[in-house]
Structure 1
Amino acid sequence: MTTFARGQRVVGAATHYVENQPPWRVDVNEYALNGPLTAAVEAFGAGWADADLRETGALVGSEAFQRDAELADIHPPKAHPNDRWGFRLDEVEYDPAYHRVIGDAIARGAHTSAWADPREGAHVARAAMFMLFAQVEPGHACPVSMTHAAVASIEGSPWIADEWLPRLYSREYDPRLVPPEPKRSALIGMAMTEKQGGSDVRAGTTHGTSMGGHAYSLTGHKWFCSAPMSDGFLVLAHTRRGAVEEGLSCLFVPRLLPHGVRNVFRIQRLKDKLGNRSNASAEVEFDGTVGFVLGEPGRGVRTIIEMVQRTRLDCVLGTAAGMRQSVAEAAWHARGREAFGALLVDQPAMTSVLGDLALEAEAAMLTGLRLAQLFEADAPDRDVALRRLATPVSKYWVCKRGPHHAYEALECLGGNGYTEGFPLARRYREQPVLAIWEGSGNVIALDVLRALTRDPDSAAAFADELASTAGVSGVLDAHVARTLALLEALRGADPVTAQAQARRLSESLALAFQASLMLRHAPSAAADAFIAARLGDDRGGQYGVLPMGTDAAAIVARH
C-alpha cells in the first residue's frame, strides 16, 4: 500500500475509500486566522507585538507542533523517586515532545516577557502569546504561568530576587537539574495545598524552624505540588523563630542548594489526573528541607496573593484559549463535512451552535486581555482596584463556562469528537482543571465578597467600568442596575445571606463585565447577540439558542 503524508486521503479497498471528511487542521496560522484576537491585541495597546504573534501563530498551527502536543499528552510524565541502586533521585521524566513545546513557549517570552520588558501593552502581548501556546498544548502552561506569577511574590525580597529574577527572565530552556553556573534559566512551581486542608491553606501542618537569617528548615507533606521538576517552589508553612510562633509564611524552596547539593524534595507519587496529562502534579515530602522566607515572616498569604491573582488571570486566559481551540476545530469540521445534502456549517441549527460558541469564546478572550491590561506596569490606582474584583469575578465565570463549551464543540464533530484521535476529547478533559486550580467555585465566589468588604474602591472601579457603556443597551443597563443593587445589598447583609448569594453576584458581575467589553470591542451585531442570548428575556439554557434574527453565519465567518 502506498504511504501518504498525514492528513491525505488514501485510496485503498473499496470499502475503505475515505470521503466526506475534512482534512487535518494543520499548517494554519492560529493568530492570523483569529480576527477577534488580532483586533483586541491592537485595541488593548499591544499592536507592536503583531509580528511576533504571527510567527508564533504559524508555529503552534504547524503539524509538527500539534503532533508534539499530542505526544506530550499520550506519553505522560513518569516519576523516578530512586535510582537503580536505591539512592534518592526525586526526578520526573517527560517526553521529548513536552520539552520541545515548553522550550518554544519560553523562547518567545510566554512566561516573563512582560516583567523583563515592561513597556506599554507588555502584559497584553504576553497574554496573547500565552493563549496561542495554551490553545494547542495546555499542560505546559502550568509552569509557564507560575513562573510569570512568581515574580510578583519574589521581587520584594532581594535575598532571593537578585539571584533568581535574571534566571526567570531568561528565554533559554534547560530541563536539567544542575547548578546555575551551566544553567542560566529557571522555572518556578508551587506547593501550597495539603490533604487535610485543600483551599484552607491555614489548616496546613507543614512547619519551618529558623536556621538564622532568612533560612528555615521545613518538615511536612504537600498534597499537590505543581510542576515538580521546576528549579524552585513557593511553599506555605507555619514558621517559628526560637520560641516565637511567627504564623503562616511564604518560603522559596530551591531544588538545588549552593555548590549543587540537592535539597530534600521527596517525590512520593504523581497524581493520576483526569486531564492536564502532559504536566506533572506530585505529592512531595519535606524533611529538613531548606527554604528562604519571602516577604515578612507570618505574612505568607499577603506575600503570595499577588502571585495568586496572576495565576487566576492565567486560568481565564487558558480557558479562553481552550474555547478558541474548540470553536476553531468545530467550525473546521462543519465547513468540511456534508450531511443531508449541505455542508454542516450552512445548516441553520449547526450555524447557531457555532455562532453561540464563537460569541462565548470572544467574550472570554476580551475578558482575559482586559484583565491583563489592568496588570500593566505602573497601572493607575483605578486599574489596581478594578483588578482586585474583576480577577476573581472573571475567574469564577469564565472557567465555569469552559467544560460545557468544550463538550458542545466536541458534539459538533459527532462520534469523531469523542475519540482521542481528535483534540477536542483532550480539551474536554482539560477545561475543568482551570475551574478548580487556584480556587474552585465557592472559594472564588467568597473571594469576590472579601474584595468588596476589604477594598471598597474595587466596587466603585467596577461600577465605573460598566458606566463606560451606559445607555448603549437597555438590556445591559437593566442588568447592571440589578447587579449593583445586589452588590450593595450583600455588602450590608449578614454573612450567611451574603455567602449564599456569592455565586449569583459573581455570575451577574461577570456577565455585566463581558457584555460591556463586547459592546466596546466586538461588532455591534455580535455584541447585541451576546447580550440578548445571555441577559435577554428569551435567553436559553444551552448553546445554540440565539435570538431570532441573529446573523449567526456572519459571526461564524468572523471566527
Structure 2
Amino acid sequence: MAFNQPPHLVNYNVYHSDRFLQQCAQRFGNQRDEAERVRFGALLGSEQHLARCESANHYLPELFTHDRYGERINHIAYHESYHELMHIATEQKLHNGVWRSKAPYSHVERTIRYYLNSQLEAGHGCPITMTFAAIPVLQNSRLYPQLKEPLLQPRYDARDVPFYDKSAVTVGMGMTEKQGGSDVRSNTTQARPFTHGGEGERYRLNGHKWFLSAPMSDLFLMLAQTEQGLGCFLVPRWQEDGCRNGIHIQQLKRKMGNQSNASCEVELHDVEARLLGTEGKGVRTIIDMVAMTRFDCMIGSSALLRQALVQSLHHCHYRTAFGARLIEQPLMVNLLCDMAIESDCALLWTMSVARWLDEPEDDEAKKLARLLIPVGKYWICKRAPQITYEAMEVIGGMGVMENTPMPRLYREAPINAIWEGSGNIQCLDVLRACEKDPQLLTTWFRFISRAYGRYHSFDQAAERLQRELDAQSPTPFNARRLVDEIALLTQAALAIEHMQPERSQLVCDNFFNRTGRNLGTLVGNPDTAHQWVKDSFTIG
C-alpha cells in the first residue's frame, strides 16, 4: 500500500476553494450570482467532470473527408465528452451572455465563469471564444437580424446541418495563410462578387487557410482579397441552398496542446460567402473580434496559472519530506508564494479589464482596455509555461506522468501566447495604438499614479519609465522592454489598490527590487509569504 502520497484531487469546489477569486467577485461583480458560481464550481471539480475533460483529450477528433460513396463531407467526429463540455459552456452562456442584454457586470461575470471553466479543459474554449468574439462584428452587419436568434441561444446544437436549421450556432475564424501567418495583408485568397458586390452581398472565395480551428462551427469569419483590398466575409459551412460549402479540409493539425479542439488546413473552392462591412476594410471590420479573443487568451492563461498552482498546493499539503510537510518548508513556501503572486496578479488584472469592458461609455476605461489587453495578452500568456513547468517540478516525478493533469497543462501553456498574435505582434500593436492615440499612455500613467506614495520601489520604477519615454519615443527595437515595464507597473498598481498592504508590499518588493531571475527567489517577509500560500487553496 502506498503512503505519503496525496489523495486524488476530485470532488472539490473550484470556486469555493479559491479565496482570492471570491474576493475579486465580491469587489467587481454582482453578489446575486454567488450561488450559481458555487454550483458551477462544484460541477467543475466533480469526478465526473474531470473524467470528461480527460476523455475529450484522450479520444482525439477524427477527420472524415468523404462518405462511403465518395461524396466529400468534410466531417470531424468528436468524442461525446467534447460535446458534453460544449453543452456545459453554452448553458453557462460563456459564448454569448455578454451580448444577450445590457446588464451591468456582464463581462465580469463571464470572466469569472470562463476562468473557472478553463482551468479544467481549454480546448473546447476555442469555439466558445470565437463565437463570443464574433457576435459584436455580426451585430454591425445587416445580416444580423437573421442570425440573432440562433447566436444568442444558451445551448449547443452539434448536428451537421445548415445553420438555418439549427437551434443554436457557433462561429469560427479563418485569418492566417501559409505565406503570411500574422501578416494577414499578404493573404492571397480571392473574393469575387456574384453581382455588383457590397455589404451583405454574396461572393465566391477561392484560396486556402493555414489554420482553421473549430472547423465544425456553423459560420466562419474569413479574410480574403477583393478589388479594393482585404475584405471580411461571413462563410457558412453549408450554402444557403442546402448544399455543403466548398470548404475542403485537407488534414487535421497535430498540435502539442489544445488537442480536444480540432484545427485544420483547408482549401476554399468557390466558397459561398457574404461581405461584412466594405471591401478593403476587412481588418478594421474584424479588429473587435481580435481584441475579444486576445482578452480570452488572458483569461485562459490566468486559469492555467491557477490550476498549476492548485496542483502544486494540493501535492505539498499532503506530501512530507525530511520530516515535515512540503507546504511548511521555507524554500518551498518561497516558491509557492511566488507562483501565487503570479496567479493572483494575473487574475486581478484580467478582472480589472472585464470591469473596464463593462464601462464602454467611460473614456478612461476604454483607453485602459485598449492598452492593457495586448499588454496582458503578451505578459500573462508568457508566464503560463514557466509557472506550469515549476508546478511539474514541485510535484516531482509524478508531475511528468501522463495519467496526471500536469502534462496536459504543460502542453496547453504555450498555446495562448502564440494564438491570436504572438508576443512581438502584441508589442507592435501597443506601439501602433500609442502612436495613433498618445493619450493612451497619458491615461495609463494617470491610472497608476493613484498608487504613488506607498512604496518607494514602485514610485521609482514609474518615474524611471516616464523619464525614458520623455527622452525618447518607444521604438520597435525596445518594444518588449516597454511592454514588460507596463505589465509590472500595472500589476503592482492593482495590487496596491486591491490587496492588503503586506501583500502589495511583497508584490512591489519582488517586481522592482529582486535580483533572482528564477521563481522561488522572493525577498521580503516570510510570514506574509507563508500566509499567502496558506490562503491560496482551501483543502477539503
TM-score bracket for this pair, using the shorter chain length: over 0.9
Is 2:245 the counterpart of 1:263?
A: yes
Per-residue deviation at 1:484?
2.8
- The aligned residue for residue 489 of structure 2 is 512
Is 2:203 the counterpart of 1:195?
A: no
Q: Which amino acid aligns with 1:282?
A: C
Is 2:158 the counterpart of 1:171?
A: no
1:237 and 1:453 map into 2 onto residues whose CA distance is 27
Q: Counterparts in 2 of 1:98-113, with a 5 A limit?
A: 98-113=82-97
1:485 and 1:314 map into 2 onto residues whose CA distance is 33
Change over 3 Å in CA distance of 1:379–1:322 after alignment to 2 = farther
Is 2:448 the counterpart of 1:466?
A: yes
Percent of aligned positions with the same letter in both sequences?
A: 39
Q: Which amino acid aligns with 2:516?
A: G
Secondary structure class of the residue paired with 1:260: coil
Is 2:425 the counterpart of 1:443?
A: yes
CA contact (8 A) 2:162 2:218 kept: no
CA contact (8 A) 1:266 1:285 kept: yes
TM-score (norm. length: structure 2)? 0.96
Question: Mean alpha-carbon deviation: is it higher for 141-150 or for 514-523?
Answer: 514-523
2:449 and 2:61 map into 1 onto residues whose CA distance is 48
Is 2:510 the counterpart of 1:527?
A: no
Query: What is the CA deviation profile of residues 143-178 of structure 1, one whole-angstrom value per residue up to 9, with x for unaligned ones?
Result: 11111111121111022x112232222111111122
2:384 and 2:511 map into 1 onto residues whose CA distance is 15
Per-residue deviation at 1:414?
0.2
Please give the root-mean-square deviation of Cα atoms over the aligned residues, in Å.
1.3
Alignment equivalent of 1:500, drawn from 473, 477, 492: 477
Q: Which amino acid aligns with 2:393?
A: E
CA contact (8 A) 1:46 1:122 kept: no
Question: Mean alpha-carbon deviation: is it higher for 445-454 or for 45-54?
Answer: 45-54
Question: Mean alpha-carbon deviation: is it higher for 461-470 or for 61-70?
Answer: 461-470
- The aligned residue for residue 360 of structure 1 is 342
Question: Mean alpha-carbon deviation: is it higher for 43-52 or for 75-84?
Answer: 43-52
Secondary structure class of the residue paired with 2:223: strand
2:355 and 2:171 map into 1 onto residues whose CA distance is 23
Alignment equivalent of 1:485, drawn from 467, 477, 480: 467
CA contact (8 A) 1:294 1:303 kept: yes
Alignment equivalent of 1:296, drawn from 274, 278, 286: 278
Q: Which amino acid aligns with 1:95?
A: H
CA contact (8 A) 2:299 2:350 kept: yes
Is 2:182 the counterpart of 1:206?
A: no
1:504 and 1:267 map into 2 onto residues whose CA distance is 41
Per-residue deviation at 1:295?
1.5
Is 2:528 the counterpart of 1:546?
A: no
Change over 3 Å in CA distance of 1:198–1:476 after alignment to 2 = same
Q: Counterparts in 2 of 1:22-421, with a 5 A limit?
A: 22-159=6-143, 161-180=144-163, 182-212=165-195, 213=197, 214-239=201-226, 245-376=227-358, 378-421=360-403
Per-residue deviation at 1:226?
1.3
Per-residue deviation at 1:181?
5.5
1:522 and 1:164 map into 2 onto residues whose CA distance is 44
CA contact (8 A) 1:383 1:461 kept: no
Question: Mean alpha-carbon deviation: is it higher for 316-325 or for 476-485?
Answer: 476-485
TM-score (norm. length: structure 1)? 0.93
Secondary structure class of the residue paired with 2:55: helix
Question: Mean alpha-carbon deviation: is it higher for 370-379 or for 448-457?
Answer: 370-379
Question: Mean alpha-carbon deviation: is it higher for 355-364 or for 370-379?
Answer: 370-379
2:359 and 2:282 map into 1 onto residues whose CA distance is 23
Per-residue deviation at 1:332?
0.3
1:490 and 1:109 map into 2 onto residues whose CA distance is 46
Q: Which amino acid aligns with 2:25?
A: V
Query: What is the CA deviation profile of residues 297-352 of structure 1, one whole-angstrom value per residue up to 9, with x for unaligned ones?
Result: 21011111111111111111000000110111100000011111111111111111
Q: Which amino acid aligns with 1:503?
A: R
Per-residue deviation at 1:489?
4.3
CA contact (8 A) 1:385 1:455 kept: no
Alignment equivalent of 2:405, drawn from 409, 413, 423: 423
Per-residue deviation at 1:368?
0.9
Q: Which amino acid aligns with 1:120?
A: P
1:468 and 1:42 map into 2 onto residues whose CA distance is 22
1:455 and 1:166 map into 2 onto residues whose CA distance is 37
Query: What is the CA deviation profile of residues 16-75 of structure 1, one whole-angstrom value per residue up to 9, with x for unaligned ones?
Result: x11111111011111111111111122113333212211111111111111111111111
Per-residue deviation at 1:228?
0.5
Change over 3 Å in CA distance of 1:102–1:445 after alignment to 2 = same
Secondary structure class of the residue paired with 2:210: strand
